[in-house]
Structure formats: C-alpha cells, structure tokens
Chain A
Amino acid sequence: MIVAIASYVVGGLALLVYFFSRETWLRNLGAPLAIVGCVAQFAQLIVRYEITGIWPLLNLYGSLSLFAAMSVAIFIGFAIRYKLWFAGGFVLAIAAIFLAYGVTWNEGTMPPVPSLQSYWAKIHVPIVVSSYAAFLVAFVFSCVYLIKYYAEQRIANATVVASAALEGGGTVTVATPALSAAAAGGNPLAQWLETLPSLAQLDVIVYRAVAIGLPLISLGIITGAAWAKEAWGAYWQWDPKETAALCTWIIYLAYMHLHTRNAWRGLRTNWISVGGFVLVIFTYLGVNIWISGLHSYKM
C-alpha cells in the first residue's frame, strides 16, 4: 500500500510537470512509477486474499483499492497504445487520493455478512469498480479536451483583439489565426497546446474510454441484478445504489446517443462526460456513505 501510494505521488508529480514542460526524463520517471504502483496494488489485493481467505472487495477499503488500481491500469493501457502519458499526473493524483481515502475505511479483516457470501461478489464488484475506473479515465481526458478547447478559444479571441488595436480602428478584417499560426508567432500557450493531441483525437479517446465503461457498467448492473435475485428475492428493488447506478448508465447512454450527432460531438459530449463522472462518484461513494440501503456502509 505504501509502495503504491508513494509511487502514485512521485510518479503523479513527475507526470504533472511533464504535462506542462514535456521534458522526456519526467515521462521516463513517471511512467514506470505508475506501473510499479499499479502492480503493487494488485499484488497487495492478491496477497490479502491469499492470507485471509476473504474476498478483499467486500468493503469500501478494498473496492477503493481496486478502483485506484484499475484506473491506473486502464490509463496505462491508453497511454501505451496512444502515447498519452501527459495526462498521467491527473489520473495518478486522483488514484492516490481515493486510495488514501480508502485506507481510512480499513477496519481490518472481517468475515462477510451472509448477503455477501456469494460467488457473485467475485464477479459483480470487480466489473462495476472497473467501469467506474474507465469513466475516471474518460473524465480526465474530457478535462484535457475542455482545457484545450477554451485555451484555443482564448488564443483566437486575444489575437483578434490585438490585431484590431494595431490597426488603430477603422474597419478591420482579421481572419482568426489558427493555433499553429499563433504557435509559429511565438505564443507560448499556443506552442504548449500544440503538444497536446487535437480536439478531435481527444474526443475519440474519451469515446473509447466510455466504450469500456458503459458495457462494463451494463454488465455490472446485470450481474448485480442476478445477485440481488439470489440474495434478496428480486433482481430490482429500487435500492438507492441500484437506481443511482441506473442514473449513471442513463447519462452515459445519453453521451453515446449524442456522440452520433456532429453538432453535439466534441464540446458538449465532453461536458456530459465530466457530469457523468460526478454522478459516478455520487453512485460509488455518496450512496454508500450517506444513504441507507442494501449497499450501505452508513452506520
């Protein structure tokens, strides 16, 4: 656990600085640390299971550990495939925060209550937590998209205003310069923005992350319903956790539908992705901690 948190903190800092400076040695430091932290987390979960014989994901501590590990694992997959290490700082930082928070819920090893004594615990929980992790990765890249989008807008607006001032009034016809033109002109923000993938590419990355998360949460809801039928008699009891998960499913379903429309693809769908992740946090933590129900940790 300490190895994982330390790796995430140091690696996250390195990759955060890399996000801005793009110095290769920072990526070369941060990437391996991300992998080390991720491997350490999975190892810790496996060892816990081997020693105690109790499935480690039955409490918030265990599930938050898996959430952090899967978030980093999914991000690593994207980073290797599409060369996206620049966003690693954000993913590692969030993973470290959730992992540290999870540690506060560690009450030691406790035998599971009867409703958790089921093989479904080994199926349903990892699937759902993995879906949340995929949505976290989508959220991070949506944030990068939005940063780039609004920064580009700012560059375009600033350049128009500057040109008008130079002209000294009168009728000014100024074609808004492209980002590359601003970068060629020495604008440091523009030069930095050019190191990021294009908005279209970022949007595709977000789509691909949601493409992992939405089927997983669908499968998670299905397996949860199957487990509920065995444990509580009905596959759907409108439990707050079930309905919050349904809300999350609905918002990403809306994302998927809107992404088919050219006018909605891009800025708007990325805002939906951001909103969706807020709902994921409410579904994952808010419902468990603040609302009483069948999934509740509320004392």
Chain B
Amino acid sequence: MATKVSALYDDFIRTFGNVLFAVLLFVVWGILTLIGVIVDQGKSATTYFDSYPAAIARAIIRLGFDNIYHSPWYVGIIGLILVSLTVCTFKRVIPARLPPLRPVKIDKIPLNASIYVRGSEASVRDRVESFFRSRGWSVRKREFGGEEWTFADKHNWARRGVLIAHLGFVIIAAGTTVYWAHGFSGETAIVTGQAVRIPETNAILKLDSFRYKITPILTKSGMVYQPTDYVSNVTVTGRDGIPKQMLVRVNHPIDIDGTLYYQASYGFATRMRVTHDGVNVASLSDRVLEEGEAFDIPGTRNTLVYDRFVPTVDKQSGMPAADPRVNDPAVILSVQQNGETAGTALVPLHTWIDLGNGWRVSPERYLLYSGFQYRYDPGIPLVGIGSLVLLSGLIISFYFLPARLYVRVDPSEAGCTVGVAAMTVKGYDIFAGQFQALLQDLQSSMEPPGPNPHLRKAEAY
C-alpha cells in the first residue's frame, strides 16, 4: 500500500513538475479563454439555438460554455496550473536556477575555453580571481576532491526572477479568491427624484439630477452623435447616517463605506396615463416605467410593454431618428398576449393609444434614470500587488542573464592551463558572444598576446 502511494506520488510529481505539462495546461487555458471570446457569454438558450446549429448550441449549454469563465472547467484549469506551478517551483525551478556549486567536466560544456598562462599556480589563480572580480563577477572558491575550483557568478540575484513571477501569479489568484469569498457587486437604476437602498450595504442613494451631453459631429460617414459626458448628482447616506451630496461620472466613481459606485448607463423612464372607459386608473397611472418594464392590463390577457424611449422622431418619415437628444420624443409600446407580441406602436408623448376593451394609454412625461454599478472588492490590493510582483519577475527573468563560470587552473609546463566553462539559465547561444569577448579579455589581461583561446561554439555576434 505504501509502495503504491509512493509510486502515485512520484507519478504526480513527475507529471506536474514537467514543463511540457505546464505548457499543455496553458494551451487548454488559452483554448477555454478563446471559446469565451468567440461564444457570447451569459445569453439565453434561445440565443444559442438561433446562432448555432442545434448540436453545437446543445453542447455549449451542457458543457457550460455559455458561462465558461465561471465553469468548473475554467476554475479547474486555473487550479491545476497553480498546482503545477507549485510543483515546478520546488522540484524544477529552484534546483535549476539555484544550483549548488559543484565541479563540472569543462570540455563537455558547449561554451568552454582553455588558455595557457605563464606563472605559478597560486599567482595565476589570484590573477584569474582578480580579473573576474574587477569585471563585476562574484567569485567563490571551493575544493572538491583535492582540486580547487573557482566559481564566478553574475546577476545571481536574478536567478530568482522566475520564482518572483510565480509568486505574483499566486498572489493574484489569492486576491481573486478573496473577492469570491467576501466581495459583492450589483447594479441599480435610479429614476430622478427617487432613492434606493443598496441591499448589501444599506446605503441609500437618491438621484437628485442626471445630465448628459451629446455632441453632433459631421463625419465622412454622416452625422454622428457622440456622447461626451454623463453626470449624476446624488445624495448618499452611508453608515454614519449623514446625507452627502456627491457627483458620479464615468471614470470618477464614488466611495461609500468602502463600496465603489460607478456611472454605468442611463435611460428614460416614462409615466403613463392609463384610463379604462374614460376613468383614470390611479394604480397604473402613478407608475414610472423604465425601458423594458411592463404591466398587465386588468381583465385582459394583454401586457403593455414599454420597449424604449425615442428621443427624436423624424418628422418626415415618422420613424425614430438617429439624434439621441430629446427634440420630439416618443415611446415604443408593444402589447403582448401570452408572451407573443400582438402589436407595436411608436407613440409620441401626450398622444392617446387605444388598447381595446375600453383601455387607453398615453405617455405623459419622461424622467431620466441613471444606471449605477457597485462593487466591494477586498481582494484588489492583493491583485494589484500580485500583478506588480508578476511583472517584476518577468522583467528580471527577461532582462538579466544569470551566468556562472567554472574555472579550473591546472599546472602545466612553465605555467598553467586555465579552463573556463560557462552556463546560463537560458542556454548557451545567448551568451556565446559575451563569453568569447570575456575570454579574449582574460587572455590579453593575463600576459602578452599568445595563442588564441581555444573556443568551442562561441560565435561572434
């Protein structure tokens, strides 16, 4: 049993510690993310059946691809990546990036050279050590099996770049987990003059006024009506119970007791006058409907839907115009019977429309409403820190090249042979040019010009 568990553990470590497995997880993560780009998220089943062949639509819904970023697949792949990252960090990255000082077979390493230097072994060792120190290398000496080795390191601290990047990723994941556990978000629309209580915080927001600015611009494609400003004047009452006047604008959210409120949208609510057999129906006439809202017509199977507000009606065609400024407003009303649309009409303000069975309705006035999104996210500091840590790790990994030189001085006839090999964390090619230059420098600093360094796989670049 113990052997089985041990074997299972070894397999687990071998698999999750494999860089290729990690990359495979990246590929799956990328594919799932791309699916979410291509397949519209959060739509109704009908939308998918309308947009795709039935088999694909069914697959989208059954596999959870309609909400893929919150699906078990997506959360699962992130989890697997975190596990792989952890195993790779301890089993692969740390041993590879932070190798102990140990002797190597110099001539077996692709980047290696040997030069002949006159002088005693002790003096050559000292001169070699001084040379590397003077060029910013950190030099250490160790003895192995009676032989003295010199190790020269550059940018040793940068070996931890990958560890830092990995840590950043973990911190980001922690931050998003904190939001899932303790954060909340929501949205609300407030009609001018009305107040709402936010259920999660009990804060009260009253919309005093909303204004927007549209700028018409003539382009080569025609007249374009560019929105340039949306501003909500609100009175907010937080935990302290003191009402405060505040301004909410896009890119300028307000903070109420740690929850941020954002200007998200706006629309036009309408108050209708509803009569039955000539008598005003107060319960329906007092209502203010936002776009998309509806009410049932009593005693009938009909539902009146306020589809949308039309700021400007083109006088010539009688159809909605492109101008979003309120010039000649109307509303689009539709009547539904048993969920099916029975009729639609464009109804100017203060115009009566007959719904049948004695019912009549007239849109009387419009009121602007402002749409807000609110969010409480205690994980943001962690996500922010994690992002910067990840970025730092990437920059360190990319822009600093930790290199280690292995130097051995062997006495020979009337002098010494200095063998040098170089290894970096990014292979040999990237360091070949620098290695050649370094060895030529070493050669010329040791003594008058002698035989050229015997170099392998060190190309001028």
A residues near B (Cβ < 8 Å) are 82, 107-108, 110-115, 117-118, 198, 200-201, 203-204, 207, 211, 214-215, 218-219, 222, 225-226, 229-235, 238, 240, 243-244, 246-247, 250-251, 253-254, 256-262, 265, 287, 291
Contacts and interface: CB of A to CB of B under 8 A. Distances in A.
B227 interface: yes
Interface string B352-383: 00000000000000000000011101001001
Given A108-B217, A114-B227, A247-B33, A257 B380 contact: no
Interface in B25-39: 26-27, 29-30, 33-34, 36-38
Interface stretch (B132-140, B201-209, B311-319, B424-432): B424-432
Given A110-B219, A201-B459, A233-B374, 9 more contacts: A107-B219, A108-B220, A110-B217, A110-B224, A200-B432, A218-B390, A230-B252, A257-B23, A261-B20
Contact of A250 (B30, B227, B228): B30
Contacts of B23: 254, 257-258
B433 to A, nearest CB: 9
Interface string B1-44: 00000000000000000011011001101100110111001000
Contact of A211 (B252, B374, B375, B398): B398
Contacts of A82: 461
B215 interface: yes
B230 interface: yes
Contacts of B395: 215
Given A198-B459, A291-B37, A262 B427 contact: yes
Interface in B428-461: 429-430, 432, 459, 461
B253 interface: yes
Nearest to B261: A233
A38 B37 CA distance: 34
A113 B395 CA distance: 34
B449 to A, nearest CB: 27
Contacts of B69: 238, 243
A207 to B, nearest CB: 7
A178 to B, nearest CB: 14
A214 B383 contact: no
Contacts of B397: 256
B237 to A, nearest CB: 21
Contacts of A257: 19, 22-23, 26
Question: What are the 10 A-B residue pairs with the smallest beta carbon separation, nearest first?
Answer: A114-B250, A211-B398, A233-B262, A233-B373, A200-B429, A250-B30, A107-B219, A118-B251, A222-B387, A254-B26
Given A231-B251, A260-B426, A261-B20, A247 B30 contact: yes
B250 A211 contact: no
Interface in B102-160: none
B393 to A, nearest CB: 10
B26 A238 contact: no
B185 interface: yes
A117 B230 CA distance: 11
B27 A254 contact: yes
Given A111-B215, A117-B251, A291-B37, A235 B461 contact: no
B423 interface: no
B155 to A, nearest CB: 15
A27 B391 CA distance: 37
Given A198-B459, A214-B394, A251 B250 contact: no
A108 B373 CA distance: 33
B228 A113 contact: yes
25 contacts: A107-B224, A108-B219, A112-B228, A113-B228, A198-B459, A200-B429, A200-B459, A201-B461, A214-B398, A218-B390, A230-B251, A230-B253, A231-B251, A232-B264, A233-B264, A235-B383, A247-B37, A250-B29, A253-B26, A257-B26, A258-B19, A258-B20, A259-B426, A260-B426, A265-B427
B224 A203 contact: no
Contacts of A207: 426, 430
B293 interface: no
A60 to B, nearest CB: 13
A117 B250 contact: yes
Contacts of A240: 36-37
Contact of A261 (B19, B26, B215, B398): B19
Contacts of B262: 231-233
Nearest to B231: A114
B80 interface: no
Interface in B386-436: 387-388, 390-391, 394-395, 397-399, 425-427, 429-430, 432
B380 A235 contact: yes
Nearest to A203: B429
B26 A211 contact: no
B37 A243 contact: yes
Nearest to A82: B461
A114 B229 contact: yes
A291 to B, nearest CB: 7
B249 interface: yes
A211 B399 CA distance: 8
Contact of A247 (B34, B263, B427, B432): B34
Nearest to A197: B461
A206 to B, nearest CB: 12
A108 B215 CA distance: 14
Contacts of B398: 211, 214-215
Contacts of A251: 26, 30
A143 to B, nearest CB: 19
Contact of B226 (A111, A254, A260): A111
Contacts of B283: none
A246 B69 CA distance: 12
B355 to A, nearest CB: 35
B391 A222 contact: yes
B254 to A, nearest CB: 11
Contacts of B338: none
Contacts of B430: 204, 207
Contacts of A254: 23, 26-27, 30
B221 interface: yes
B233 to A, nearest CB: 16
A268 to B, nearest CB: 11
B260 interface: yes
Contacts of A118: 251
A232 B251 CA distance: 8
B37 A287 contact: yes
B228 A111 contact: yes
